[in-house]
Amino acid sequence: MSYLISIKTAFLIFPLIALLFTIPFILHQYHKYGSINKLRCLIIYSFILYMITIYFLVILPLPHIADVTYKSGMIRLLPFSFIFDIIKESNIVYSDIGTFINILKTNAFYTTLLNIFMTVPFGMYLRYYFKCSFKKTCYLSFLLSLFFELTQLSGLYFIYPYQYRVFDVDDLIMNTLGGIIGFYIVSLFNKILPSRDEIDRKSLEEGKKVTGLRRFTVYCLDFIIFNFILIFIRNIYLKLIIFIIYYAIIPEITNGLTIAGKFLNVRFCTNKFKTIKYLSRFIIIYYYYFKMPFYLIILETTIFEVLNILTYIKSLIYFTTLIFILIFYIVNIIQVLKNKSKFYDSLFSITYKSTIKEQI
């Protein structure tokens, strides 16, 4: 039952962890490959889910702090003591072969088996995706197990006054063995799954195209970087100068690369009057996405004051305005994700070019 609780908890926590991981993952993929490979996403996110699950198997269920007291025998340093535990629990009679089946019914046997199976996927991930050698797989499997055992030994990083799980050297041995088994098992799937090198090659090939999501990511990252710089600037004229430098001068000097574009391997391309076009484009984007909805709310508020209309009508207009703004952003995002050229790009004949192929 405790195993089911751990697995259910992992699946409940996974969406939040995945959400926190998504933005760094997208930035890393566009920086390194210029694309987001679906199989790579499946591998990485399944690996995250797997790591969350085995971690919760180690720490859950959490006892009440008042129930955790000092107990002797919570540290077991004798290797292969699980063998004696299995023999003791099974009550086998050596003269009666039929009693040996009792071994499969003992808790010690299932606990040992679980400790092996728990890290089999870890060894598979290490060899298949992370391309670890046998030696490195053994080393990392042992370190993972040691991390789990120290987590238990420390009472969940000293949150509890004493440890509530047994520190067992056999767990280190079995977890490491599981990683080794996983290392060899993954070779059975080599003919079915594409290799990591094949995934990388396909990603780089796909990275030669600039997708809508990649364009949107470049825009958002530029916006974040630019506004982070403005945090330290108070003078309005200096802000304007920085805006011109960031969105016009830098792309002109770098032949169409903003700071985010450089990191995400996306170049803006256009014909003559590049500086003016880059600057005009970003001014339009700024007012189109940020100022226009703001002005709409101001207009709506002004109507309230001038006409002095009834409260319920005000609420209706206000709600309608918010819905309109929401639809406005959703439609624009969908258009970008579908790779449709926005009017401000068509107006200035601006296209997007991937710089990934320049690096291969």
Tens-digit pLDDT profile for residues 233-284: 888 889 889 988 998 899 989 988 999 999 999 998 888 778 888 888 888 8
pTM equals 0.82
Short-list 86, 324, 43, CA closest to 194: 43
pLDDT greater at residue 74 or residue 300? 74
| pLDDT at residue 178 tops 70 | yes
Counting residues of the chain whose pLDDT is more than 70, the rounded percentage is 92
Instruction: Band the pLDDT of 360: cuts 50, 70, 90.
Output: very low
Would you put residue 321 in left (φ > 0), alpha (ψ -120 to 50) or beta? alpha
Q: Is 335 helix (H, G, I), strand (E, B) or coil?
A: helix
Residue 98 CB contacts under 8 Å (≥ 6 apart), including other chains = none
In 3D, which of 118, 119, 121 has the Cα closest to residue 47? 121
Q: Count the residues in the chain.
A: 360
CB under 8 Å to 283, separation ≥6 — which residues? none
> What pLDDT score was predicted for residue 98?
72
Q: Are 151 and 177 contacting, i.e. CB atoms less than 8 angstroms apart?
A: no
Q: Give the C-alpha separation, 105 to 86, whole Å.
A: 9
* Helix 212-230 with 236-244: angle, nearest 10 deg: 150
CB 281 within 8 A of CB 350: yes
Mean pLDDT to the nearest integer, 170-194:
93
**CA dist., res. 196 & res. 79, Å (int):** 37
Instruction: Take residue 284 and report the two structure tokens written for it.
Output: 């339009």
